[in-house]
A and B are shown apart, each in its own frame.
Chain A
Amino acid sequence: MSEQRPESSGRDTSDEPSMEWLGALKSDADDPELQPVDPAVTQAFEAILEEEQPPGIPPAPAPAPGPVQGPPPAAEPEVLPPVPEALSTPPEALSGPPPQEFTRALAEERTTGPQPVRGTGPQPTYEPGFGSGPQPAYGTDPQAPFGTGPQPAVGTGQRPLPGLDTGALPVVPSGDPGTGQFTRAGSGPFPSGDSGPQPALPAPNQPPLYGTGPLPAIGSGTGPQPAIGGTGPQPAVESAPELEAPAFELGTDTVAIAAATPDRPQPYVELGMNDEEYRRVRSILGRRPTSAELAIYSVMWSEHCSYKSSKVHLRQFGDKAPQTDALLVGMGENAGVVDVGHGWAVTFKVESHNHPSYVEPHQGAATGVGGIVRDIMSMGARPVAVMDSLRFGPADAPDTHRVLPGVVAGIGGYGNSLGIPNIGGETVFDACYAQNPLVNALCVGVLKHEDIKRAVAPGPGNRVILFGALTGPDGIGGASVLASATFDEESQQKRPSVQVGDPFMEKLLIECCLELFREDLVVGIQDLGAAGVSCATTELAAAGTGGMHVELDLVPLRDATLRPEEILMSESQERMMAVVAPDKVDRFMEICGRWEIPATVIGAVTDTGRLVMTWRGDTIVDIPPGTAADEGPVYERPLAPPHDLGTLQSDTPGRLTRPSTGEELRRTVLWLASSPNLASKTWVTSQYDRYVLGNTVMAMPENSGVVRIDDESGLGVAISLDGNGRYTRLDPYAGAQLALSEAYRNVAATGARPLAVTNCLNFGSPEDPGVMWQFARAVEGLADACQYLGVPVTGGNVSFYNQTGTTPINPTPVIGVLGVHDDVRRRVNMALTSDGATIALLGETREEFGGSEWAHVVYGHLGGLPPLVDLAAERALASVLVTAARDGLITAAHDLSDGGLSQTLVEACLRGGLGARITLPGDPFVTLFSESVARAMVAVRPGAEARLAALCEQAGVPVTQLGITGGDSLQVSGTDQREIFNIPLAELREAHERMLPSYAD
């Protein structure tokens, strides 16, 4: 495919949702002009609401369990719910008591096969313990020495489980003040002393489970979950019983109503659509869309999901793709897959979660990790490592102290709990990210060639199964509405719409999916990310036989009051959708049950070419899925170089005073080593587990992360993630190529052959011609360079609207390069370890300071042009590094990039705890601090000097002897052999390692 397509998960939900559009939808539904109004019914309904609801508390969810009752109060009237004009109750309240009984009745009626098996019974309402709501009153454990430690009342296996059919209320701890949803709780069959979440799903042939998790039943869901999704034969969709909508269900906008009310005004503008897009939807459907359809189109055609502004440029990645046999799956799937030999394949991808991480740093970053991990899982792979590329405002800015620790704790808290090692990344500070941090997360997964899975829904009759966490009101509309919002004072109001992650559920999902894959139980799979069910169903259907029928009321809910539009757009985390052959559904459910993961058949694949969704028996969606998934609008936005670019480029760093004396140079080395961007990031990385899975061969601060894939052969991969917003600001075409060059070089420095590329393109608003020009140039530069270097782009992500007010961030393409180690035991570290080794500089140093760390740190200067790109030299250098590693010619290698040779020497010395005596071959300042590309420092294995020199000569790589390892200081002399300066390692270490903790703690 020639485009980068949004992933189901496009978790950059970049962008969080305001809830305003919902109000719009609801007020639309509530439009008295369009609804029959029966004052009597209305009064009755109001009375019911008043009676049942303490002030300020939303309507109770389901009533007590027990035999199926008719839908509660409002069930009697058969007419559509009327809405008086004067009604002042908020729309939310009007959706009334949730129709669980109703839904359950429906489900029971339709479950013709065996009664719901494990995995489908009443679901517990468990929610991660983060944040919200009071903790259930657990009993105390008298034995705990520290007293209050709540002992879980959750099952010891002694308590009877709720019967599958009783619709038992999942627990509300008595005495729990509730979260506003619990007002009617407590009538379940449990002893009132019981508290804690109820176990779900008994596993096969087992005594009652002893609990599904320590999760207090906080959160919004309550009420019995319908016994949905039986594993028995799926009822024929055609035979859907005609069930009347309960009267309290206000204004479900059905296809029939839409056809009959062509002129009803719709809130498409609030949903981020323009007039033309809305007209197009009407023309596709031949009528106005229902509100559910509008929700789907608006979110699928959002910038975030449709790539409507970037598509025309991203095509270059396909058009210019280099010839390669390595690519097994290219762009367009959840992630690209590359062949790494021995029957193994690797899939990797990076995605942004920028805007949520500003609004709520911990959860924003955590769910960013969760999303990219699910993308990798949905390719059929086991996730084996994550990395993250982070950008914040100035290190000493007050808001950075809010955002940075939250983001790091979020990434760590989620990734560590998943058991996926975090092996590297970058942490960069710059004022341009002050109100728009960048949080880009990468995941890499490993699989066998034959295990590749696709996001397709082929085979009419195959079942569509939603599994994982329950659906709640998380990040509703996130992908669409907030994606087009930039941050301003109102962003505080958007806080509630950030999704909350549950890494425990994700860990179970990983293991469950791998077991499902092992038994070959799925024909297609897709994770749910941005745009949730909308995205998964349209994309699966569009890529499959073309049709799908979904009964939306079968989606298991955490909040039973959700309306269909909300279910369609919910971005609740930790959910996946699978397409499963009917005869494999039972086994599928069994495995989900073993992992205690709720799974529900919500529909089936059809050959109608239509995606049809029903809600309480009414058809609310009937669209050709491809029109939403693939045929969104495409814009060629106007481009123009930013007006200040000329001024910026002509303001070269030549005017800046340079250090010249030994003392000035010494101070500059220490200054840079202790500056936020170059200082040790141990404070960050020590909060990540780099060891879990036992295959991490290299991790930060090494050049790249390296993980072993195969214990026997030593096959492994190296990955580096790099970007430079300052370079890209000065010259976007070159900046993207420089980011690629650096990542490529970093991978080669470990001894790995660079193989493939992923990218996360972080830019300002595409509606700004200057930004769009930066984007177009950067994409062009990246595509050209990938073609030249022979490394295909396998996928990626675009994040627009990274700006505050009208000021965009520095354009920041973050490039991930993946390389292969045939044997990771041959990898080369950056540490100087053995005394007496020759230190050599590979590559040519020019006087290049535009966009350099030196100019940035010392003068806060950004101007001139970035270092000259030299892809031929990059390729030659990489070939030398890879061969030298393979042949054992070098004992250390470290690339030169930000901060130049100075920083490379500091890091290599400190990493190995060994000093070096260096003789600078040219102008000391230029040699130490220039950021010329295609350079690396190596320590040569004693005796291999001649072979390395011959290798370099053959490849045309200049090689310069710099000095020798040894001692406990970094000692630097000039060509005249006179010492310029000498810095004890202890002093270097203090400077390098003190910075971050001093700001962050």
Chain B
Amino acid sequence: MDAARVGVITFPGSLDDRDAARAVRLAGAEPVMLWHADHDLQGVDAVVLPGGFSYGDYLRAGAIARFAPLMTELVSAAKAGLPVLGICNGFQVLCESHLLPGALLPNAGLHFVCRDQRLSIENADTAWTTEYRAGQEIVVPIKNRDGRYVADRETLRELADSGRIVARYLDLNPNGSQDDIAGICNEAGNVVGLMPHPEHAVESLTGPSTDGLGFFTSIVKRLVNA
């Protein structure tokens, strides 16, 4: 059986695209590099929007990238159920695209923050988290400048009530996110946005743990079983 094909979109200013591709490979899938200016998802089975500073994020994180030609295809495919994981800048792009509610503002301390972050997996039923247990604690790096998740009260309540908070920060909220939110998903659970970087916790040699690999093996398993 052919390996699942997981696309990784490169925008100008994407930084963690190679790392996301490596994580996909380590999880047993075939990474497919997608170019922002194309209109072709190349028939991939899932997509990762990687971290970085697309277009320099001079305006507002993710605000320009959402207008990339490929995003037209991605938005409609995601609405039709294509699994999409947005990491860091990718999360910001998903919010800007309105595939996910809320927004990501500059960190509370106004500093870029890079640290090994303990998280709890709150929802282990999304397309990207089935390899975890609900309530499982993991450590993955966080590194961002604009990671403070905000939404209006009603949205926050709805996210909580419907189990759409995928992960929360433990110990220390690194950026002032509301309700310690580190990641959320859409109603269908196929689109997940995550501020921490699971792709940097896939090898014990280079990461603080291998806890992040579960996001990628989750999707691989799902695609193989599909």
Contacts and interface: CB of A to CB of B under 8 A. Distances in A.
Contact of B55 (A138, A151, A504): A504
Contacts of A383: none
A412 B112 CA distance: 7
18 contacts: A128-B56, A129-B58, A145-B103, A145-B155, A206-B37, A210-B64, A211-B55, A213-B56, A216-B58, A417-B13, A507-B53, A687-B113, A687-B114, A688-B114, A691-B141, A692-B143, A693-B18, A694-B200
Interface residues of B, number: 47
Interface stretch (B125-133, B144-152, B157-165, B217-225): B144-152
B63 interface: yes
A175 interface: no
B52 interface: yes
A553 to B, nearest CB: 29
A182 interface: no
Given A213-B56, A215-B58, A507 B13 contact: yes
Given A206-B37, A503-B56, A596-B12, A691 B114 contact: yes
Contacts of A596: 12
A616 to B, nearest CB: 35
B36 to A, nearest CB: 9
A664 B14 CA distance: 53
B55 A213 contact: yes
A296 B204 CA distance: 52
Interface in B1-43: 12-16, 18-19, 22, 37
Contacts of A213: 12, 55-56, 58, 64
Q: Per DSSP, are chain B's interface residues mostly helix, strand or loop, or mixed?
A: loop
Nearest to B51: A692
Given A213-B56, A215-B58, 10 more contacts: A150-B59, A150-B60, A210-B68, A417-B15, A502-B56, A508-B13, A691-B206, A693-B19, A694-B18, A694-B22
Interface of A: 128-129, 138, 143-146, 149-152, 154-157, 203, 206-207, 209-216, 409, 412-413, 416-419, 502-505, 507-508, 595-596, 685-697, 708, 824-825
A688 B68 CA distance: 28
B111 interface: yes
B79 interface: no
Q: Per DSSP, are chain A's interface residues mostly helix, strand or loop, or mixed?
A: loop
The residue in A152, A691, A825 that gathers the most chain B C-beta atoms within 10 A of its C-beta is A691
Contacts of A691: 19, 114, 141, 143, 197, 200, 206-207
Contact of A209 (B37, B60, B197): B37
Contacts of B143: 416, 689, 691-692
Contacts of B200: 691-692, 694
Contacts of B206: 691, 694-697, 708
The 10 A-B pairs of least Cβ separation, nearest first, read A504-B56, A419-B15, A214-B59, A694-B19, A129-B58, A691-B200, A214-B58, A417-B53, A214-B64, A210-B67
A692 B112 CA distance: 14
A203 B15 CA distance: 21
B112 A413 contact: yes
Contacts of B14: 419
Contacts of A129: 56, 58-59
B63 A211 contact: no
A213 B56 CA distance: 7
A210 B112 contact: no
B57 interface: yes
Nearest to A149: B60
Nearest to B23: A694
B35 to A, nearest CB: 9
A592 to B, nearest CB: 13
A691 B51 CA distance: 11
Contact of B113 (A503, A686, A708): A686
Given A146-B105, A157-B67, A214 B55 contact: yes
A825 B63 contact: no
Contacts of B103: 144-146, 149
A504 B53 contact: yes
